[in-house]
Amino acid sequence: MKKHNFSAGPAILPADVFSQAAEAVQDLNGIGLSVLEISHRSPEFVAVLEEAVALPKELLQIPDTHEVLYLTGGASSQFFMTAMNLLPHHGKAAYLDTGSWSTKAIKEAKLFGAVEVLASSKDKNYAYIPKDYTVPLDATYLHYTSNNTIFGTQYQQLPAADIPLVCDMSSDIFSRPIDVSRFAVIYAGAQKNLGPAGTTLVIVNKDLLGKVEREIPTMLDYRTHIKKNSSFNTPPVFPIYVSMLTLRWIKEQGGLAEMAQNNEAKAKLVYDAIDRNPLFQGTAAREDRSRMNATFVANDPEVETAFLQACQEANIAGIKGHRSIGGFRASIYNAMPTESIEVLVELMDHFAQKHG
């Protein structure tokens, strides 16, 4: 019996992607070899990688100034790699602090130059997106986290700024269209909207590279991976393969406008259930609510325990909230079917009636 998987990441992928991936682990496209045992220089994998690069270009309408890379090390490695590659030693970078991941990005950037934190929502346990700040024009870039997986907030628009943006989009990339031309770097750990854990998508404006003087180890220099099409060394073949399958699925569904519309509709189902049942309370400011991670609490700890138990009985997995906020978190990425959300919402209504 397949579970309804509301996990924040690694997270649900389309059912077809699981089937295709399982088949390829036995035999890739009938070539008599598993996708796990083919050379990364083989024509079969080169074709996979080319498609995995072409699809983001098409879906996000990425301009020619930008390259699409598949790296490893997670968004956590991009926290320092962005600064290492972009921030001159005597330069300054601007950061917006909207939660744990922003905080970590800020910490790592400080190793490479001056960091100015323009605004933070830490005062309210990151329950909102700060909107009142001035972006210094002498900063090299403005870094932000587009969706805050833990705190359930999300930027509804790109921050207003006259300098290039750098963004951790780990948990909402490919969930809606974005204007890539505004970004120096977009990075995203695959394991939410893109694929399994083990690869990190990086979209980088190559015109902004090569402007720092520090010596960068070969593997940490974006230019290495641009020059070698993400195959300077052996790339994570299977995570890239599965990401490619997911991107194909997104395209088949109609692309990012369609994704955004579905995500809007799916999020509305969850937030409406939160708002109509006084037993539950949303934790994020309404105007900043994430379409990817709906966070909510119950009005007492016993109810929380009982609801978690009820979820388990209803085959709902991964709904427990992060320890820094408690309660519940329904992660409803692209691949989450409306049917699973309906199961959750019905349970919430039913539970609220019974315990309300």
Q: Is 305 helix (H, G, I), strand (E, B) or coil?
A: helix
Q: Does residue 39 belong to the site contacting a second copy (CB under 8 A)?
A: yes
Any catalytic annotation for residue 168?
A: yes
Backbone angles phi, psi at 131, to 5 degrees: -125, -10
Active-site entry in 97, 172, 192, 266: 192
**How many beta carbons lie within 10 A of that of residue 182, not counting itself?**
16
Residue 79 or 280 with smaller CB distance to a second copy: 79
**Angstrom distance (rounded) from CA 111 to CA 223:** 21
Number of residues that bind a second copy (CB under 8 A): 66
Element (H, E) at 114: strand 114-120
**CB-based contacts of 256-262 (< 8 A; 24+ apart in sequence):** 256/59, 256/60, 256/174, 256/175, 256/176, 256/177, 257/177, 259/174, 259/175, 259/176, 259/334, 260/175, 260/176, 260/177, 262/334, 262/338
Q: Binding of a second copy at residue 38 (CB under 8 A)?
A: yes
| Residue pointed to by tokens 């394991």 | 191
Is residue 114 at the binding interface for a second copy, with CB under 8 A as the rule?
Answer: no
Looking at 43, 47, 58, 107, which residue binds a second copy (CB under 8 A)?
107
Q: Which stretch binds a second copy (CB under 8 A): 60-68, 122-130, 289-297, 315-323?
A: 315-323
Task: List the one residue from 48, 52, 66, 74 that touches a second copy (CB under 8 A).
Answer: 74
In the set 93, 116, 189, 334, which binds a second copy (CB under 8 A)?
A: 189
268 belongs to the catalytic site: no
Question: Does 156 contact a second copy by CB under 8 A?
Answer: no
- 37 touches a second copy by CB under 8 A: yes
What is the distance between the alpha carbons of residues 285 and 153, in angstroms, rounded to a whole number?
A: 8
Provide, for the chain, the percentages of residues in helix, strand and coil under a 3-state DSSP scheme, each rounded to the nearest 5: 40, 20, 40
| 280 interacts with a second copy by CB under 8 A | no
- From 69-77, 145-153, 265-273, 345-353, span contacting a second copy (CB under 8 A): 69-77
114: amino acid identity, one letter: A
238 binds a second copy (CB under 8 A): yes
Residue 249 annotated in active site = no
Pairing of β 280-282 and β 293-298: antiparallel
Our finding on whether 33 is near a second copy (CB under 8 A) is yes
* Residue 308 in contact with a second copy, rule: CB under 8 A: no
User: Counting contacts by CB under 8 A, is residue 95 touching a second copy?
Assistant: no
Q: How far is the CB of 250 from a second copy (least distance, A)?
A: 16
Query: Which one of the spans 1-9, 52-60, 91-99, 346-354 is the region binding a second copy (CB under 8 A)?
Result: 1-9
Q: Choose among 46, 79, 71, 75: nearest CA to 236.
A: 71
Residues 167 and 93 sit within 8 Å (Cβ to Cβ): no
**In the complex, least distance from residue 1 CB atom to a second copy, rounded to whole angstroms:** 5
Q: Which two tokens stand for residue 224?
A: 């290495």
Beta carbon of residue 236, minimum distance to a second copy (angstroms, whole number):
3
Q: Do residues 290 and 154 lie in contact, with contact meaning Cβ atoms separated by under 8 Å?
A: yes
Q: Which single residue is written with the structure tokens 């990339």?
A: 173
Q: Which stretch binds a second copy (CB under 8 A): 13-21, 126-134, 282-290, 306-314?
A: 13-21
**Residues recognised as catalytic:** 101, 168, 192
Interacting residues toward a second copy by CB under 8 A: 1-3, 5, 7-13, 18-19, 21-23, 25-27, 31-34, 36-40, 42, 72-77, 79-80, 84, 104, 107-108, 111, 189, 191, 195-199, 215, 217-220, 232-239, 242, 315, 317-318
